[in-house]
Structure 1
Amino acid sequence: MSLLAISGLETFYGASQALFGVDLDVAEGEVVALMGRNGMGKTTTIRSVLGLTPARAGTIRFGGADIRGLKPHRVARLGLGLVPEGRRCFPNLTVAENLLAAARPGRWTLAGVEALFPRLAERRGQMARTLSGGEQQMLAIGRALMTNPRLVILDEATEGLAPVIRTGIWAVIRTLKAEGQSILIVDKTLAELLPSADRCFVLEKGRTVWSGRPEALTPDLQDRYLGV
C-alpha cells in the first residue's frame, strides 16, 4: 500500500482551475520526484495535499486514511513534514528555537539534526534572519525533520543556492534516502534529481502526463515536458 496516494486531484483558486486530474503516489521509503515546467501545478499539488489550498475533487490518502478536507495542522500531525519553497524560517528566532518549535517525539532530535548539518550546530544561538540562504535551507530541512515525519515534502529544495551548497543538500537527501525516509521532492536540477529519485511524475497544465523510473525519462521526454 502506498504511503501517499493521490488520484484525480482537482483544485481551484477561486473560479480558476489549477489542477485537472493529478495522479501520484509515494511508497514507504521511496523518493519520488514531482516534475514539470513552471506554472504546471507542482506547488498547488503540494498545497492540496497539505490542506493549504483544499481540493474540490479527487482523493488524497495518507497511510490509508482519507485526508482530503483536513485542516493543515491535522495533516501535519499525521506525519507530513514540509520544506517550503522560499524556506520561510522564523526570522526572529534562533536556529535552536526554530528547530525546537517544531519538535515532536521520535528519531530526530536537536542533536541528530545538528549532526546532519554541522553548520547549524555552529550557529545554534544565531537569529535565523542573519543566516545565508543555504544555511536557511538547512534550517528548513532540519525543522521539517524535527517533526519526525513519515513523509518529507521538499518544494524547490535547491533553488537559488550556490553550487557547493546544492551539493551538500543533495548529499543530505541521499543520506535520508539510505535511512529509509520517504520523500516527495520538487526540483529543477535534473542532473542531481534523477539519480536521487526512485520514480518520477511529470505535470503539464495541471495533469499528470507521464510517470515512470528516472532512466525511462529520455532526453526526448525531458525536452517535451521539461524544456524551456
Structure 2
Amino acid sequence: MTLLQVSGLESFYGASQALFGVDFSVGQSEVVALMGRNGMGKTTAINSVLGLIRPRGGGVRFIGRDIAGMQSYRIARLGIGLVPEGRRCFPNLTVRENLVAAARQGPWTLTRINSLFPRLEERQDQYAHSLSGGEQQMLAIGRALMTNPQLLILDEATEGLAPVIRQDIWAAIRRLKADGQSILVVDKTLAELLPVADRCFVLEKGRTVFSGKPDELTPELQDRYLGV
C-alpha cells in the first residue's frame, strides 16, 4: 500500500522556481531516503508535502487523498508527523510538556517514548532549552511520534550531533523500522542511511534524478549526485 505519492511536484519561492517535477513515494512500513546535496530541494519538497509551501503544480496524495495545498495543520491531523531540521522544541516547556502538547491517541505513549529514549525519562522535568542538542533531537522525534503518525518525516535528524548521539538516533530509527513505522528520512550520512532504507530518491536542482534500491545507488552515482 502506498501511503504518500508525490508526482510532478512544482514549487516556487516568489517568482523563483525551486522544484521542477519532483517524484517520490513512501509505502506502508517502508523507510525511504530522500537524498541530494545541500540546496537541491529536499526540504522544499517536504515543506510542499506538508502544506508549508503551496505547490503550483503536480500532485501530492496521502492514503489516496489529494492533500496538495491543504492547510498544514489538517495534513498533520491526517497522520503525518514531522521532525524538522533544527529540532524546534518548545524551549520553555519541560520534556514531558513537549511530549504531551500535541499527543493524540494511539500506540505511542509516554511510556513507549521513554523506552525508546530512556534519557528523556531521566530529564522529563527539565526545560527543553536546558537539554543538549542530541537530547533535543530525541525530544523532537518523541514529540512527533506522540502524534501517532502513519508517516514520520525526519529532516536531517542527525545533523550536527556528536557521533555517539548519532548512533543513538540511528538505533532508534532501526527500531522504528522493525516496528513497521513508515518513514521518509533526509540525511547525508550514507553509511547509516543506506542500510536502513528500502528505497532511495535523489534530487538535483529540484528534479528527481534517481529512484531505486540502495544497492542500485552505485559509487559512481553517489559521487555524481551526492559527492562534495
TM-score by length of 1: 0.99
The alpha carbon displacement at 1:91 in A equals 0.1
Q: How many residues align?
A: 228
- Could you tell me which runs of 5 or more consecutive residues in structure 1 were left unpaired when the two chains were aligned: none
In structure 2, the residue corresponding to 1:202 is in which secondary structure?
strand
Query: Aligned partners of 2:2, 2:8: CA distance in 1, in Å?
Result: 16
Aligned partner of 2:49 in structure 1 is: 49
1:4-153 alignment runs, 5 A limit? 4-153=4-153
Q: Which amino acid aligns with 2:81?
A: G
Q: In 2, Cα distance between the equivalents of 1:2 and 1:12? A: 26
**Post-superposition shift, 1:17?**
0.4
The Cα shift of 1:115 comes to 1.0
Q: Which runs of 5+ in 2 are unaligned?
A: none
Q: Distance in 2 between matches of 1:157 and 1:211?
A: 22
Distance 1:102 1:193 in 2: 28
CA distance in 2, matches of 1:90, 1:193: 28
Rounded to whole Å, the distance in 2 between the matches of 1:101 and 1:217 is 40
CA shift, 1:111, in A, is 1.0
**In 2, Cα distance between equivalents of 1:157 and 1:164:** 14
Q: Distance in 2 between matches of 1:31 and 1:112?
A: 21
CA distance in 2: counterparts of 1:57 and 1:21, whole angstroms: 8
Q: 1:106 Cα shift?
A: 0.0
Shift of residue 68 of structure 1? 0.5
Counterpart of 2:205? 205
- Aligned: 1:191 with 2:191: yes
Counterpart for residue 173 of structure 2: 173
SS at match of 1:76: helix
Distance 2:116 2:2 in 1: 28
Task: Write out per-residue CA displacement over residues 100-139 of structure 1, whole angstroms, 9 at most, x where no aligned residue.
Answer: 0010000001111011100000000000000000000000
Cα distance in 2 between the residues matched to 1:69 and 1:168: 35
Residue identity in the other structure for 1:72:
S
Shift of 1:85: 0.2
Give the aligned CA root-mean-square deviation in angstroms.
0.4
Equivalent AA in structure 2 for residue 117 of structure 1:
F
Q: Which runs of 4+ in 1 moved over 2 A?
A: none
| SS of aligned partner of 2:40 | coil
Q: Which amino acid aligns with 1:41?
A: G
Residue identity (%): 76
**Which residue number in structure 2 is paired with residue 219 of structure 1?**
219
> Please, what TM-score do these two structures have when normalized by structure 2?
0.99
Question: For residues 114-167 of structure 1, what are the alpha-carbon distances to aligned partners after superposition, in whole Å with 9 as ceiling and x for unaligned?
Answer: 111000000000000000000000000000000000000000010000000000
